[in-house]
Amino acid sequence: MAPVGAKRNILERLDAGEVVIGDGGFVFALEKRGYVKAGPWTPEAAAEYPEAVRQLHREYLRAGSDVMQTFTFYGSDDKLENRGNNQRFSGRQINEAACDLAREVANEGNAMVAGGVSQTPSYLSCKSENEVKAIFKKQLDVFVQKNVDFLIAEYFEYVEEAEWAVQVLRTAKKPVAATLCIGPEGDLNGVSPGECAARLVRAGAQIVGVNSHFDPMTCVKTVKMMKEGVQKAGLKAHYMTQPLAYHTPDCNRQGFIDLPEFPFSLEPRILTRWDMQKYAREAYNAGIRYIGGCCGFEPYHIRALAEELAPERGFLPPASEKHGNWGSSLEMHTKPWVRARARRDYWEKLMPASGRPYCPSMSNPDGWGVTKGHADLMQQKEPTSQEQLRALFAKAKANQ
């Protein structure tokens, strides 16, 4: 169990060299549970179904998470009303409810609350810097009112928009983390990971890294490049990773969004708990101390991170009482051949089969080359029309 004591802020923990375990991916987890709609991926469940959000927070806390991130991903007003996504609650109500739920569960343990903002339809639609910053400011006002412990600008494909977000968040005088959803090729404008990280630090972020879009090992590789860029620029920062729980060796610059399996057929790519332990160790060895997850991560994945790093942290998470180390609980199984699997070398060496004999091991990702400013990325309040869909279907067929 975690030691009981006065709660220290995120920077104090990282400055002391401690490992901070993040949480998992709320939108994907809650979509599977029937509380989030795929497509908009918006967080109205915080107000509509608070019991579902509260329970998921509790499961991550029990699994070892040190951070309860507010379920405010895509919680900006322009995203909440994008493409006919009508809401029963205002953006402020959703953000306030998310903060209250995160704080309630954080107080059940020794966790911190992080308020998060993410990329906006307004930026993709080429709105001005002031207009985009005003959107971030509306969410920040709620986070300040609810007194979250620190702030995260996460899931940005363009470093420029992430810089604008950080510049707004830093006005709250709270610690600021910033993560881009990029891989080794850099952001969608071709800015390298090292330069992206240096720009985020200059903008005011004390913690930088990546989240989503790529698998854990790709994300660790990308953060290593970020670290080199920050050091080369003569700057200092802490580093974080919150990757996908999916294997993505075949992804291009856009990441898993371009995979033909996105988002409804990704399950064959899910990492095992043992893959997660390897990720935790690789991230730690790379000097990353804020280690969590994003889309596809379930509580058992977070538990794997916490168990792998238990020697460094000095304790196991509460959920480990129901999980034997490296399969040791299988010693209690009725079948002898299953009891024979109660050992580390079995699970470390296993090459899991997919059970799909006619499926390929990798896919051919889409590559439309659509970036900010393109007509297809201009967003709208009205629902996508049938005419617009027909044009997209035709383009998809032409690109096959």
Q: Encoding tokens for residue 302?
A: 């977070």
Res 307 pLDDT > 70: yes
Amino acid, single-letter form, for residue 34 = G
How far does Cα 335 stand from its chain's mean position?
Answer: 39
**Tokens for 151?**
């702030």
Task: Render the burial of 38-71: b for 16+ CB within 10 Å, e for the rest.
Answer: eebbbbbbbbbbbebbbebbbbbbbbbbbbbbbb
In this predicted structure, the answer to whether residue 27 has a pLDDT above a threshold of 60 is: yes
Provide the pLDDT confidence category of residue 2 given band limits of 50, 70 and 90: very low
Asked whether residue 67 is assigned to any structural domain, the reply reads yes
6 band by pLDDT with thresholds 50, 70 and 90: low
Where is pLDDT greater, at 398 or 187? 187
Residue 389 counted as domain residue: no
CA atoms within 13 A on the CB side of 246: 27
| pLDDT digit string, tens, across residues 186-219 | 999 999 999 999 999 999 999 999 999 999 999 9
For residue 166, being part of any structural domain is answered with yes
Total number of domains constituting the chain: 1
Query: Is the confidence at residue 5, as pLDDT, over 90?
Result: no
Of 72-76, 304-308, 390-394, the least confident: 390-394
Q: What mean pLDDT do residues 80-93 have?
A: 86
pLDDT tens per residue across span 257-295? 999 999 999 999 999 999 999 999 999 999 999 999 999
Strand partners, 68: 113
Domain that holds residue 259: 10-349
- Quote the distance between the C-alpha of residue 258 and its chain's center: 17
> pTM score, two decimals?
0.94
308, amino acid identity: E
| pLDDT tier, 391 (very low <50, low <70, confident <90, very high otherwise) | confident
Query: Is 294 within any annotated ligand binding site?
Result: yes
pLDDT reported for residue 372: 82
Residue pair 211/199 in contact (Cβ under 8 Å)? The answer is: no
Confidence of residue 128 (pLDDT cuts 50, 70, 90): very high
Q: Which range (162-176, 275-289, 363-377) has the least confidence?
A: 363-377
Summarize pLDDT for 311-366 with one digit per residue, the tens.
Answer: 999 999 999 999 989 999 999 999 999 999 999 999 999 999 999 999 999 999 88
Report pLDDT for 396: 85
In the predicted model, what is the mean pLDDT of the chain?
94
Whether the pLDDT of residue 52 is over 80: the answer is: yes
Distance of CA 11 to the CA centre of its chain: 20
Which of these ranges, 30-39, 117-126, 315-324, 385-394, has the smallest mean pLDDT? 385-394
Rounded mean pLDDT, 247-251: 96
Residue 393 banded pLDDT, cuts 50, 70, 90 = confident
CA-to-CA dists, residue 84 to 47, 74, 94, 385, angstroms:
19, 15, 18, 10
* pLDDT score at 4: 45
Q: Residue 81 — pLDDT band, cuts 50, 70, 90?
A: confident
- Residue 124, pLDDT above cutoff 60: yes
Mean pLDDT of 58-82: 95
Residue 399 within a domain? no
| Across 245-262, average pLDDT | 96
**Rounded to an integer, what distance in angstroms lies between the CA atom of residue 282 and that of residue 219?**
11
Nearest residue to 3 (alpha-carbon basis) of 239, 314, 327 = 314
The 3 state secondary structure assigned to the chain is CCCCCCCCCHHHHHHCCCCEECCCCHHHHHHHCCCCCCCCCCCCHHHHCHHHHHHHHHHHHHHCCCEEECCCCCCCHHHHCHHHCCCCCCHHHHHHHHHHHHHHHHCCCCCEEEEEECCCHHHHCCCCHHHHHHHHHHHHHHHHHCCCCEEEEEEECCHHHHHHHHHHHHHHCCCEEEEECCECCECCCCCCHHHHHHHHHHHCCCEEEEECCCCHHHHHHHHHHHHHHHHHCCCCCEEEEECCCECCCCCCCCHHHHCCCCCCCCHHHECCHHHHHHHHHHHHHCCCCEECCCCCCCHHHHHHHHHHCHHHHCCCCHHHHHCCHHHHHHHHCCCHHHHCCCCHHHHHHCCCCCCCCCCCCCCCCCCCCCCCCCHHHCCCCCCCCHHHHHHHHHHHHHHC
| Cα dihedral 255, 257, 263, 269 in deg (nearest 10) | -20
Determine the Cα–Cα distance for residues 34 and 219; give it in Å rounded to an integer: 29
Whole-number pLDDT of residue 397: 84
Q: Which tokens in the block code for residue 212?
A: 């989503």
Q: Is 280:310 a contact under the CB 8 Å cutoff? A: no
Tell whether 243 is covered by a domain: yes
| Letter string b/e over residues 86-105, b meaning 16 or more CB atoms within 10 A of that residue's CB | ebeeebeebbbbbbbbbbeb
Please confirm whether the linkage preceding 263 is cis (ω < 30° from 0).
Answer: yes
Residue 84 pLDDT exceeds 80: no
The pLDDT value recorded for residue 382 is 87
| CATH number for 223 | 3.20.20.330
Q: Is residue 360 part of a domain?
A: no
Instruction: For residue 40, name the pLDDT band (cuts at 50, 70, 90).
Output: very high
C-alpha 41: how far from chain center: 13
Decide if pLDDT at 152 tops 70: yes
Higher-scoring residue by pLDDT: 397, 358: 358
Which residue has 């209250």 as its token pair?
A: 100
Give the residue, 283 or 389, on which the prediction is more confident: 283
